[in-house]
Structure 1
Amino acid sequence: MPKIQASTVAEHRAAQRAALLDAARTLLSEHPEEIPSLADVARHAGLARSSAYSYFKSRTDMFDVLVADTFPRWSAFVEKQMAEARTPGARILAYVEANLQLVARGDHALARALASVGNSEVLATSSRLLHDSLEAPLRAALTEHGASDPDRMAELVQSVVYALSRMIENGLDLPAARGLARELLTPYLRSDAG
C-alpha cells in the first residue's frame, strides 16, 4: 500500500486529486494543441497511472472536473482585482486588465483546450456561470460610474477585452495591451479611473 502523504486519508486523496488537476492544467496551458492522456497527467503529477483512474473515470471526466475547478478561480481573480480598486472607473479598468492578465498567462488557451475535450454541457454551464459572475460586478461599476445603459456598455467593454485578447494571443505583450485599453477607455472613465 502506498504511503499516505497527509495526516488523514481524506487529506491525502484531496492532495492527490489537486495534484492531478494542477498537472492537467499545466500540460494544457503549456501545449493547448496536445490533449494529454490520464497517463500523461499522472506522470506529470508524479503519480502512478492507476492513481488517475481512482479519481476520474476518463480523460473527459477529468477535464469536466478541471473546467468546474478552473472557472471559479478565474472569476475570483477578476473580482479580487476589481474589489481592490477605489472608484467605479478604476474597477472597470481593473476588470479589463485582470481579464487581459488571464489571457497573457495562458488561461484563455487553457479554456480553448478544455472546450475541445470537455463535455460541452459542463463547459457551457460553467462558461455561462463564469460570464454571469464576471459581468455582474462590471455592470455594477458601470452603473455607479453613470452609464446610461450598463448592460450594453458591459458588452462594449467586453468587446474591448475580446479584441485585446486576440492581440495578446497574436503576440502583443501585456503592458502594450493594457496601454491600449487605458488609451481607449480613459476618456470615457475620465479622471475617475485614477
Structure 2
Amino acid sequence: MPRINAPTVAEHRAAQQRALLDAARTLLARTGEAPSMAEVAALAGLARPSAYQYYKSRQDLLHALVLDVFPRWTRRVREAMDAEPEPADRIMAYVLTNIALVAEGEHAVGNALAAVAPGEELDNQSAMMHRQLLTPLVETLTLLGVEDPAVTAELINAIVHSSTRLLESGTGRESVEARVRELIGPYVRENAVGQKA
C-alpha cells in the first residue's frame, strides 16, 4: 500500500493529482510536446505505475490538463478585477493580468495543448474560457454605462491578443505593459471621471 502523505486519502489523492498536472504543465511548456506518463511521473516524484492510478492514459492526463489550465486563467483574471474597488480600474486589471499570464508562459501551455490535445474538447474549453473571461469585462463596462459593452470588450480583448503576439515574438513585458497603459489609461481615466460625475 502506498504511503499517504496527507491527513486523509482524499487529500493525498488530490495532492498527487495536482503534482501530476503541474508536472505535465511544466513539461508541456518546456517542450511544446505531449510528455509521456513516465516523464510526468518522474517529475512529480512518483513511480510510473502510480501515475496510472490517477490517469488511465496520457490522453486522459491531457484532457485533465485542459480542464485545469483554462479555469485557472479565468479565476486569476477575475480575482485581479475583483481586487480593484473602482470599476474603471478593473479594465486595466483585466488587460494587465492577461498580459502577465502570457508572460508567465500560460499561453504557451494553451498553444501546446492545442497541438496535442483532442481538438473538439480544446475548442469547447477555449470558447467557454473566452466567454467566461469576457463576462466580468462586459459587466464592468455595463456598470460604467458604456454604449455597447460587448463590442467594447472585444476591442479591449484585441489589445490583449496583440500584446500576446508581441510578447511571443520577443518584445519585453515592461515595454508591452507601458504601451498598453498609454492606450488604455486615458480610457480608464475618462470612465473613472464619468462615474464620479
Shorter-chain TM-score tier: over 0.9
| CA distance in 2 between partners of 1:11 and 1:130 (Å) | 27
| CA distance in 2 between partners of 1:82 and 1:173 (Å) | 24
Choose 159-168 or 122-131, whichever is displaced more: 122-131
1:102 partner amino acid? L
* TM-score, normalisation: structure 2: 0.91
Cα shift at 1:120: 1.9
Please name the residue that 2:97 is paired with: 98
| CA distance in 1 between partners of 2:118 and 2:54 (Å) | 17
2:78 partner amino acid? E
- The C-alpha deviation readout for 1:139-181, integer Å capped at 9, x for no partner, is 1111222321111111100100000111011112222111111
Choose 76-85 or 4-13, whichever is displaced more: 4-13
Is 2:158 the counterpart of 1:145?
no
| Paired residues for 1:148-167 under 5 Å | 148-167=147-166
1:113 partner amino acid? A
| Paired residues for 1:59-138 under 5 Å | 59-138=58-137
1:31 partner amino acid? T
Cα shift at 1:192: 4.8
Residue aligned with 1:54, SS: coil
Q: CA contact under 8 A between 1:29 and 1:106: conserved in structure 2?
A: yes
Choose 70-79 or 122-131, whichever is displaced more: 122-131
| CA distance in 1 between partners of 2:148 and 2:28 (Å) | 38
| CA distance in 1 between partners of 2:75 and 2:192 (Å) | 21
1:17 partner amino acid? Q
Residue aligned with 2:140, SS: helix
| CA distance in 2 between partners of 1:25 and 1:191 (Å) | 40
Cα shift at 1:193: 5.8
| CA distance in 2 between partners of 1:78 and 1:187 (Å) | 21
Q: CA contact under 8 A between 1:61 and 1:118: conserved in structure 2?
A: no
Cα shift at 1:191: 4.9
* TM-score, normalisation: structure 1: 0.93
1:92 partner amino acid? I
For structure 2, which runs of at least 5 residues remain unmatched after alignment?
none
Alpha-carbon RMSD across the aligned residues, in angstroms, is: 1.6
- The C-alpha deviation readout for 1:64-121, integer Å capped at 9, x for no partner, is 1011112111111000110111222211110000000000000000001111121222
2:137 partner amino acid? L
Q: Percent identity?
A: 49
Choose 140-149 or 13-22, whichever is displaced more: 140-149
| Paired residues for 1:4-43 under 5 Å | 4-32=4-32, 34-43=33-42
Cα shift at 1:134: 1.0
Choose 3-12 or 22-31, whichever is displaced more: 3-12
Number of residue-to-residue matches in the alignment:
193
